[in-house]
Structure 1
Amino acid sequence: MIETLFPLGWLHYLLGGLTIGAGVALLYLFNGWVGGMSTVFSSSWSFVFQRPFFQQDRFLSSRHWRLVYALGVVLGALIWRFALADGQAQHTSVPAWQLLVGGFLVGYGARLGNGCTSGHGICGLGSLQLPSLGAVLTFMATAFLTANLMAITTKGLA
């Protein structure tokens, strides 16, 4: 059963989860900062766009450390890819247009839900925020429904 669910193994998922959890916990413990990625994204864009949404004080006052945080996420992914994963890239058969549409839908959902899976799922649930529980349940229900619809659709096309 485990091999079916995790054909590439499960240990790296556990290590990744523990690392992310510890990083977010330490960020909050030492500085009182919440490390949700949608806010990191919006505050980073405040350097580029002058639109009122991106120029809110909550983004401007934290954008320097959030930009460093975002660069750390990108650097961490690059280190994993080239130093720890033996240079083996993960590939997908999903067409680029579907990835693009999915990215826009996720971005819209993060704005609509006032946060993303990392903000609500890791930071919000970790600090026992009830609205985050509702958001995570909505994310997960949507993900389960989408995955099952895609599996049915894919089988029907094959």
Structure 2
Amino acid sequence: MGRYLHWFIAGVAIGLLNILSYAVKKPLGVSTSFVTAGAIGVRAIDKPLVDKNPYLKEHAKVDYQFILVVAMALGGLVSSRLFGRSAGNPGRTRSIAGIIRQLAGGFLMLFGARIGKGCTSGNILSGDAQMSLGSMLFSLATFVAGALTLLVFGDRR
């Protein structure tokens, strides 16, 4: 078996997942699942607080998107084992500063996604599938911003 899934097969799988997601009346996206995880955690500690807060109350239940996020993590683990990529890059050393930068970047992306009421994956996968001009422009801007960020802050070996 090859190290990577063929791009066409992966594309068809994402397309089928997109169709399935619309069949259950919700577009693909995962940023809300982090709110769901937070609300479920807060509910476990302080249920009255969640009951008083409409935003937390609305998100304090497991839905298909939350299950999708758990399945994505498990799928990544299975894929890494199945295709032999679980060792990572043996020549790369990880520094505390690099890990902190990655966590900070992830936090900023998630924070921006929640402020914008949508995540990059949902906007790009679902919006582009609907041929939304705004989503296509967002996809282009995301790609350009990612490339520029890599040029400025990328690994300098």
TM-score, normalisation: structure 2:
0.71
Question: Whole-Å Cα distance in 1 between the matches of residues 103 and 72 of structure 2?
Answer: 21
Q: Which residue of 2 aligns with 1:140?
A: 143
1:1-158 pair list within 5 angstroms: 12-28=6-22, 30-49=23-42, 50=50, 52=53, 54-55=55-56, 57=58, 59-60=59-60, 63-82=62-81, 84-86=82-84, 88-91=86-89, 93=93, 95-151=98-154, 154=156
CA offsets, 1:83-104, max 9 Å, x none?
Answer: x213633235452122112211
Q: Secondary structure at the match of 1:102?
A: helix
Give the gaps of 5 or more residues in structure 1: 1-7
Question: Which stretches of structure 1, 4 residues or longer, exceed 4 Å deviation after superposition?
Answer: 8-11, 51-54
SS at match of 2:117: coil
Q: What TM-score comes out, normalization by structure 1 length? A: 0.71
1:42 Cα deviation from its structure 2 partner: 2.1
Query: CA-to-partner distance for each residue in 1:103-138, whole Å, 9 max, x for gaps?
Result: 112212222332222110001111233432343233
Tell me the number of residue pairs that the alignment of Structure 1 and Structure 2 aligns. 143
SS at match of 1:46: helix
Q: Give deviations 1:62-102, integer Å, cap 9, x for gaps.
A: 733222222211121121122x2136332354521221122
1-side partners of 2:145 and 2:109: how far apart?
Answer: 11
How many Å apart are 1:53 and its aligned residue?
7.6
Residue 78 of structure 2 aligns with an amino acid whose one-letter code is I
Separation (CA, whole Å) in 2 of partners of 1:136 and 1:112:
18
1:5 corresponds to which residue? none
CA gap of 1:119–1:87, structure 2 versus 1, over 3 A, is closer
SS at 2:63's partner residue? helix
Residues 64/111 of structure 1: CA separation in 2 closer, same or farther (3 Å cut): closer
Query: Which residue identity does 2:21 align to in structure 1?
Result: L
Distance 1:143 1:86 in 2: 27
SS in 1 for 2:56: coil
Q: 1:113 to 1:140 in 2, by over 3 A?
A: farther
